[in-house]
Amino acid sequence: MTVTALDPRTALVVIDLQAGIVGAPTQPYSGPEVVARTARLADAFRDRGLPVILVRVSFAADGADALSGRTEAAGRTGTPPEGWDRIVGELAGHAGDITVTKRNWGAFHGTGLDVQLRRRGVTQIVLTGIATSIGVESTARAAYEHGYHVTLATDAMSDLSTEAHDNSVERIFPRLGERGSTAEILELLAKTHD
């Protein structure tokens, strides 16, 4: 698991690190661990003038724009608590960051993410967030299909179970891009962007 290259125009894309998600129990890393590692990456990207995209999931209070369709898994019920969709404080409040709101698992479908990346000449994304097998994997798949180089910061993401996380990291992600730890990505970023 070693990332080999970061393009000159690489963006950090952060998936669903928001109040109502990071507090949920996750494995193999806790929400605060994922946030701390992502914040280190975000600071390093900002220091080098590289884009940081904060993706959040949100729905209208009446749920009219929530995903629908028959599934075997129990869906979202009730009204989410006030502020559940706010980006966590450790990542929020940076003037140059871009916030994208999604209504789906992945960050590309039905959002302006692709346009935001292309306008900035981005050719590669580094992904972090929660949940590995849901929002992160869906976004990684779409990024690959859109022609981006994809790097996955595997210790800056987590899931509802270790098994789900490991399945994405070990079986799916090698087909979509390169994997690396936060430390490996930061080291490569320092070598190639300083």
pLDDT class for 75, splitting at 50, 70, 90? low
Strands of 27-183 (E only): list them: 52-57, 98-102, 124-130, 149-158, 178-180
161-87-85-124 Cα dihedral, nearest 10 degrees: -70
The pLDDT value given to residue 83: 83
Is a pLDDT exceeding 80 seen at residue 70? no
Alpha carbon distance 10, 125 (integer Å)? 5
Measured CA angle at 187 (ends 185, 190), to 5 deg: 110
Please report the domains of the chain, with CATH numbers, ordered by start residue. 10-60+84-193 (3.40.50.850)
Q: What is the DSSP letter of 134?
A: I
What DSSP element (H or E) covers 190? helix 182-193
Over residues 124-172, the pLDDT tens digits come to: 999 999 999 999 999 999 999 999 999 999 999 999 999 999 999 999 9
